[in-house]
């Protein structure tokens, strides 16, 4: 996607409506526990402000389900953004209506305003398919989008985390703003460059690492990558569906029985395409999913009453060896129950192996989510080529899906 960026347009004196992903993690008191998503939006924000643009930022936070819930207010984000910019950030107590409209009108070049949580309004998350089938929903979504669009002369999308959704702020607003500049920010430009270039023209050997709980979540990715990659390394609970498909005993491990046949088909398809599928050779098992649970390492077969919760040491070595000579690596999903020691060791080992391969010249991309958390927690982020800001979005990108909210933006 060769899309125009904010650098390609004039913003001086213009009101710029920018969609960000400020869906930051918070503790029970509402304190931001990681400002990473705010920090990553700063290059685009500063570029607009430094060039004399009038900036109106919008985002969602959490799942307030279409009604006001102070637990999900963006006020702490406005405060943190103000600290990072070293200047006041105006905060509107809603995203549409009299207050944001009046505050937007009063903004001057170089000023920045953040709107309240978009998801306080049901219209933000109405799916476009539903809107096409129901006139009332279409009207609600259009009205909401028009109120947002009316505040600005330019639309900028820099929210890769929601780039796979057709939310009103992501899709309907730029549709309404047709004829005005509609561009991407630097964060999305970087995501498209890394993910797009990697899939289009990878250097081989190209290794994909996939983990997580469900095979059903990754079928599209696996099918799209077979034929593109040299090997797919599979860990996490999803591995047990593949192991069962191969006739292994998996005890009480999580398994999607409805997808055993599909797993068998994918193994055969990969074989025909010359793509290796690497599965765990051993597992760390316990009789219950508890941090204090007694655990042990077993081979490929797990006895009844025990469940696999992480890849074992032999699998860690096997997976690291697959990455040793890699030139391109894509990783999405943990190797075990990463949030619960001691079942986080497999994910840690893979993170270390990816960093080591990157040190040797491999291009590495982490597809957000738990994989990104693992890399960050271990302090390895500086040794990774690119860590995506969108778990679900990067997954759909790897599936080869089109993002309608990006397709409608201005071409270079």
User: For residue range 11-53, what is the model confidence (pLDDT) as tens digits?
Assistant: 999 999 999 999 999 998 889 998 989 999 999 999 999 999 9
| Stated pTM of the model | 0.86
Q: Is 308 a catalytic residue?
A: no
Is 113 part of any domain? yes
The mean pLDDT of the chain is: 94
Check if the beta carbon of residue 232 is closer than 8 Å to that of residue 226. Answer: yes
Compute the average pLDDT of residues 263-278.
96
In this predicted model, what pLDDT tens digit does every residue of 187-227 receive, in sequence order? 999 998 888 888 888 999 999 999 998 889 899 999 999 98
Catalytic site residue from 15, 37, 119, 348: 37
> Does residue 389 sit in the same domain as residue 243?
yes
- Among the candidates 153, 168, 189, a domain finishes at 189
Catalytic site residue from 68, 127, 392, 401: 392
Q: Is 138 a catalytic residue?
A: no
Confidence category of residue 396, pLDDT binned at 50, 70, 90: confident
- Among the candidates 165, 189, 213, a domain finishes at 189
- Among the candidates 163, 189, 215, a domain finishes at 189
Query: Whole-angstrom Cα distance, residue 200 to residue 189?
Result: 16
Range of the domain at 92: 6-189
pLDDT for 205 equals 96
pLDDT surpassing 80 at residue 1: no
CATH number of the domain residue 226 falls in: 3.40.50.1260
Number of domains in the chain: 2
Compute the average pLDDT of residues 161-174.
93
Catalytic site residue from 68, 122, 138, 214: 214
Confidence category of residue 129, pLDDT binned at 50, 70, 90: confident
Q: Is 37 a catalytic residue?
A: yes
> Does residue 220 sit in the same domain as residue 156?
no
Compute the average pLDDT of residues 233-256.
96
CA 60 centroid distance within chain: 14
Query: Whole-angstrom Cα distance, residue 32 to residue 174?
Result: 30
Confidence category of residue 397, pLDDT binned at 50, 70, 90: confident
If you write DSSP's letter for every residue of 113-136 in order, what string do you get?
EE---GGGSGGGG--HHHHHH-HH
> Does residue 210 sit in the same domain as residue 147?
no
* Residue ranges of E strands in 61-131: 90-91, 112-114
Q: Is 62 a catalytic residue?
A: no
């Amino acid at each position: 996607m060769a899309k125009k960026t904010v650098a390609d347009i004039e913003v001086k004196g213009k009101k710029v409506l920018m969609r960000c992903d400020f869906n930051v993690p918070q503790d029970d008191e509402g304190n931001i526990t990681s400002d990473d998503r705010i920090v990553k939006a700063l290059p685009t924000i500063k570029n607009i402000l430094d060039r004399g643009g009038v900036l109106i930022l919008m985002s969602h936070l959490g799942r307030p389900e279409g009604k006001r819930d102070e637990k999900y207010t963006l006020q702490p984000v406005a405060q943190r953004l103000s600290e990072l910019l070293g200047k006041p950030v105006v905060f509107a107590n809603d995203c549409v209506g009299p207050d944001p409209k009046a505050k937007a009108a009063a903004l001057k070049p170089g000023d920045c305003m953040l709107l309240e949580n978009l998801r306080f309004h049901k219209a933000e998350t109405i799916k476009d398919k539903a809107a096409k089938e129901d006139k009332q929903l279409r009207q609600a979504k259009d009205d909401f989008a028009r109120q947002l669009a009316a505040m600005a002369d330019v639309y900028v999308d820099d929210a890769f985390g929601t780039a796979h959704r057709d939310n009103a702020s992501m899709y309907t607003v730029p549709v309404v703003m047709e004829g005005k500049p509609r561009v991407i920010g630097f964060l999305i430009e970087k995501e498209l460059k890394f993910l797009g270039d990697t899939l289009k023209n990878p250097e081989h050997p190209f290794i994909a690492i996939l983990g997580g709980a469900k095979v059903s979540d990754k079928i599209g990715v696996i099918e799209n990558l077979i034929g593109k990659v040299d090997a797919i390394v599979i860990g996490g609970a999803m591995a047990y569906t593949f192991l069962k498909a191969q006739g292994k005993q998996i005890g009480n491990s999580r398994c999607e029985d409805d997808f055993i046949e599909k797993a068998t088909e994918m193994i055969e398809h990969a074989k025909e395409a010359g793509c290796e599928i690497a599965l765990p050779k051993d597992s760390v098992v316990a009789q219950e999913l508890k941090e204090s649970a007694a655990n042990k390492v077993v081979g490929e077969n797990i006895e009844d009453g025990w469940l696999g919760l992480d890849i074992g040491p032999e699998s860690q070595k096997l997976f690291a060896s697959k990455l040793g000579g890699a030139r391109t690596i894509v990783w999405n999903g943990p190797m075990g129950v990463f949030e619960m020691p001691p079942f986080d060791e497999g994910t840690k080992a893979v993170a270390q192996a990816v960093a080591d391969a990157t040190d040797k010249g491999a291009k590495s991309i982490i597809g957000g989510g738990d994989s990104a958390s693992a890399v960050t927690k271990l302090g390895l982020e500086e040794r990774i080529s690119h860590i995506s800001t969108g778990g679900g979005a990067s997954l759909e990108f790897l599936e080869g899906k089109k993002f309608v909210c990006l397709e409608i933006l201005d071409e270079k």
